[in-house]
Amino acid sequence: MRVEVFSMALAVALAAAGGAAAQSTPPAPTAKPAPILHVKSATVDAGEVRPGTILEGKFIFTNSGDRPVKILKAAPS
């Protein structure tokens, strides 16, 4: 009989603790300063291109974040 009472008391205590945890509101995350990079157009349609043709494209980037953007590597796709 004592084992059953202890088990029931433990179950009630755990349920109460779980219910209290579910009702608490977590603190709001603080936003870290970061760059936010926007690209006006990410693609260029060059149409049909013959092998060996050199192509040029213009891409406009805008940083609306509060930290500088560092482009460390760029490669053609």
Inter-residue contact 59 to 41 (CB < 8 Å): yes
The token pair at 60 is 């406009």
Inter-residue contact 37 to 61 (CB < 8 Å): yes
The amino acid occupying position 68 is: P
Residue 55: the pLDDT is 87
Residue 32: the pLDDT is 84
Q: Which residues of the chain have pLDDT under 50?
A: 1-15, 17, 19-21
Residue 50: the pLDDT is 93
Residue 25: the pLDDT is 76
Taking the whole predicted model, whether its pTM rises above 0.85 is answered as no
Residue 13: the pLDDT is 46
Residue 18: the pLDDT is 52
3-state secondary structure of 34: coil
